[in-house]
């Protein structure tokens, strides 16, 4: 059993993840988040909000998960959001064609469906399920199509990403931020992609959660006002050149921007911010890198794009965040389809005298000739050069029709005017987070199996023999022989642990249960996530809480009734201290949120 299987076994057993529709046989690409999984996921999302909404000041919006067709025509999803599909002629199972050939060639994702068909046939690649032959590959659009309204209705789609809502709301957002660049908006919500063959747990889902930020910046100034915050932060980078050598390298953000490895300060800042977030929620820094998109995979509109990738045992390096400079592509695309100009008017520090070419259509002459098309003709004339306007018959194209305009219907000239500012179409910097993939990364990186006797001996807690006896007392009846030395523990960070404190009365007796419940009430007033557990031996309860990643356990025993103190146990070190009940809520809050040293919170007694 590899780590992936171990993580999922634990996730299902302890209520982190369950297969959706299990009662009816399930369906690939869908998972339910159980009580602990849902809490862990929400805490990841809330930490993300703390970074982007509270610290960065980008306000959150919420848009429909269903969009009208025009939105996705403008974004390019209707025409180009597809993956190459290949079906087995024998068993009819569908596969991603580029995934089928990735072991026999590099850059499989850049090949067309026709090229993939040729590679599959030349290499005699067979169906992994039944060994059958494959038919020809073809492009399969990944969006879920729906109808809005009764009858034939209006064509719509479930959104494949959260970003488009923020682009469509650009005018409103611009006014909200008083037309001052830079500004940004964030959105956390569900997106949908009809994946061909989702076979990687929550890494590839048909319904998934995205957390995206769209930062609108002045294209003439991509310096970041807080760049110094991360300028000297060292990151693991896997640039285009590094990928040619097959080796990543370490470099500070300042050095990377100065050398042109990262395009500019705003992008560098956001890559470093991503690193800060991921390590805070529990991604192992030793298994995290930032990979630059290669030239042949970089979107045609992007200046630069980097993926935060994590190393996993089964799947290797997996992308969990994308950070891209999307230029003005999205706003121009929506402006073109909606026929609405999308820009920000930026005032100069001082007015400027400029000479410019001005075109003045004569609406008095255009109106009678072109009637309802007169405005469109006038707009088309404004786009022509002086040479084109100097002809006796001027040609313009409106709604696909070529029209002829008389030279007397338009005037043009160069004139010097004083201007106070200009219209700027912002560029967009987009950090896009896959919350479900981050969830799995945290689970795998937190998962650990320890030898208890060896750990306590190395930590100086007590003798190995004593520790083994303690755990033996905590075993469930029927537990396999030889397992007494194993401890399964999830090393969740305090930022995301679904249960922060477990309160455990030593025995299920009223005189111990009552003070335990009083402690719970105090902890909940401090907004701590608390679990009460009085089932089984104390050793077994410790192990149970280790498995769900509870950072601290508080044990109420008979000494509590005598001196008003309780035992606090640290999950990772297994050390224990005695601390007074008086102020216990503040003590635990400081341990969890303020980084207080564990030994300073009470009197140690198990060294």
Strand partners, 117: none
Residue 124 structure tokens: 């005699």
**Contact 513/573 with Cβ under 8 angstroms?**
no
In order, the DSSP letters of 332-366 are HHHHHHHT----EEEEEEEEEEEEEEEEEE-HHHH
Alpha helices in 415-569 (DSSP H): 435-446, 452-459, 464-473, 510-525, 538-547, 558-563
pLDDT in the model for residue 471: 43
**Which mean pLDDT values do the consecutive 10-residue runs of the chain (607 residues) have?**
95 96 94 98 98 97 97 92 91 90 82 91 91 92 92 89 97 96 97 89 95 97 97 98 96 98 98 98 98 91 96 96 97 95 92 87 89 89 88 87 88 87 96 98 97 74 44 41 70 96 94 96 97 93 96 96 95 94 97 94 77
Q: What does the alpha-carbon distance between residue 606 and residue 599 come to, in Å, rounded to a whole number?
A: 12
Contact residues for 507 (Cβ-Cβ < 8 A; gap 6+): none
Q: Which residue has the tokens 């965040």?
A: 321
Among residues 49, 67, 57, the alpha carbon closest in space to that of 165 is found at 67
Cα–Cα distances (Å) from 171 to 101, 166, 274, 421, 567, in that order, read: 45, 10, 27, 18, 57
pLDDT in the model for residue 349: 87
Q: What is the largest CA-CA distance in the chain?
A: 105
pLDDT in the model for residue 607: 43
Angle formed at CA 361 by CA 356 and CA 362, multiple of 5 degrees: 140
Contact residues for 328 (Cβ-Cβ < 8 A; gap 6+): 219, 425, 426, 427, 428
Distance of CA 1 to the CA centre of its chain: 28
Q: Which residue has the tokens 């006796």?
A: 392
Task: Count CA atoms within 13 Å of residue 196 on its CB side.
Answer: 22
**Contact 69/141 with Cβ under 8 angstroms?**
no
**Contact 377/368 with Cβ under 8 angstroms?**
no
Burial of 591 per CB tally in 10 Å (0-12, 13-18, 19+) = buried
Q: What does the alpha-carbon distance between residue 87 and residue 97 come to, in Å, rounded to a whole number?
A: 9
Q: What does the alpha-carbon distance between residue 44 and residue 183 come to, in Å, rounded to a whole number?
A: 24
**Contact 513/503 with Cβ under 8 angstroms?**
no
pLDDT in the model for residue 173: 97
Structure-derived torsion over alpha carbons of residues 312, 315, 320, 323, reported in degrees to the nearest 10: 110
Among residues 535, 537, 507, 501, the alpha carbon closest in space to that of 519 is found at 501
Three-state SS string over 422-443 comes to: EEECCEEEEEEEEHHHHHHHHH
Q: What does the alpha-carbon distance between residue 518 and residue 418 come to, in Å, rounded to a whole number?
A: 73
- Model confidence pTM above 0.75: yes
Q: Left (φ > 0), alpha (ψ -120 to 50) or beta: where does 21 sit?
A: left
Contact residues for 330 (Cβ-Cβ < 8 A; gap 6+): 75, 163, 164, 167, 428
Three-state SS string over 469-481 comes to: HHHHHCCCCCCCC
pLDDT in the model for residue 222: 97
Which domains does the chain carry? 3-81+142-329+430-437 (3.30.930.10), 82-140 (3.30.40.230), 352-420 (3.30.720), 460-604 (3.40.50.800)
């Amino acid at each position: 059993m590899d780590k992936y299987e171990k993580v999922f076994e634990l996730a299902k057993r302890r209520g982190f993840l369950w297969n959706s529709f299990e009662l009816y046989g399930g369906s690939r690409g869908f998972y339910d988040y159980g009580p602990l999984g849902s809490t862990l996921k929400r805490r990841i999302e809330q930490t993300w909000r703390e970074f982007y909404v509270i610290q960065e000041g980008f306000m959150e919006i919420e848009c429909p998960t269903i969009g009208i067709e025009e939105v996705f025509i403008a974004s390019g999803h209707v025409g180009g959001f597809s993956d190459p599909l290949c079906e087995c002629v024998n068993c009819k199972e569908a596969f991603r064609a580029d995934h089928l050939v990735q072991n026999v060639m590099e850059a499989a994702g850049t090949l067309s469906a026709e090229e993939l068909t040729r590679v599959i046939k030349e290499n005699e690649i067979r169906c992994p399920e039944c060994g059958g032959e494959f038919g020809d590959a073809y492009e399969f659009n990944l969006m879920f199509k729906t109808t809005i309204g009764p009858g034939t209705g209006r064509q719509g789609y479930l959104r494949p990403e959260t970003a488009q809502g923020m682009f469509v709301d650009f005018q409103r957002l611009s006014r909200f931020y008083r037309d001052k660049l830079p500004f940004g908006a964030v959105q956390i919500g569900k997106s949908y992609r009809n994946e061909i063959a989702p076979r990687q747990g929550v890494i590839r889902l048909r319904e998934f959660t995205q957390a995206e930020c769209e930062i609108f910046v002045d294209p003439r100034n991509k310096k970041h006002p807080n760049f110094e915050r991360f300028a000297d932060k060292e990151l693991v980078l896997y640039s285009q050149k590094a990928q040619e050598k097959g080796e990543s390298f370490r470099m500070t953000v300042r050095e990377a921007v100065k050398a042109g490895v990262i395009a500019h300060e705003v992008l560098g800042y956001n890559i470093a911010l991503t690193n800060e977030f991921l390590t805070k929620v529990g991604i192992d820094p030793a298994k995290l890198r930032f990979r630059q998109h290669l030239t042949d995979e970089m979107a045609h509109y992007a200046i630069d794009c980097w993926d935060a990738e994590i190393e996993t045992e089964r799947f290797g390096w997996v992308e969990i965040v994308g950070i891209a400079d999307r230029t003005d592509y999205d706003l121009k695309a929506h402006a073109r389809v909606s026929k609405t100009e999308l820009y920000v008017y930026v005032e100069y520090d001082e007015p400027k005298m400029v000479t410019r070419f001005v075109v003045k259509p004569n609406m008095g002459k255009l109106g009678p000739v072109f009637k309802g098309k007169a405005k469109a003709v006038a707009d088309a004339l404004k786009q022509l050069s002086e040479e084109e306007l100097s002809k006796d018959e001027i040609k313009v194209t409106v709604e696909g029709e070529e029209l002829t305009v008389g030279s007397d219907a338009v005037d043009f000239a160069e004139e010097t005017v004083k201007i106070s500012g200009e219209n700027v179409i912002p560029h967009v910097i987009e950090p896009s987070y896959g919350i479900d993939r981050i969830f799995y990364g945290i689970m795998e990186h937190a998962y650990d199996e320890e030898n208890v006797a060896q750990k306590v001996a190395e930590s100086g807690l007590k003798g190995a023999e004593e520790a083994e006896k303690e755990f033996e007392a905590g075993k469930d009846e029927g537990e396999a022989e030889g397992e007494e030395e194993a401890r399964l523990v999830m090393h969740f960070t305090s930022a995301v642990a679904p249960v922060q404190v477990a309160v455990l009365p030593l025995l299920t007796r009223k005189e111990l249960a009552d003070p335990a419940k009083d402690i719970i009430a105090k902890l909940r007033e401090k907004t701590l996530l608390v679990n009460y557990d009085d089932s089984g031996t104390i050793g077994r309860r410790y192990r149970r809480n280790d498995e769900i990643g509870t950072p601290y356990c508080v044990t109420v025993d008979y000494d509590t009734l005598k001196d008003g103190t309780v035992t606090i146990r640290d999950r990772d070190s297994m050390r224990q201290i005695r601390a007074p009940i008086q102020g216990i809520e503040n003590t635990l809050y400081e341990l969890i949120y303020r980084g207080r040293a564990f030994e300073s919170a009470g009197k140690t007694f198990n060294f």
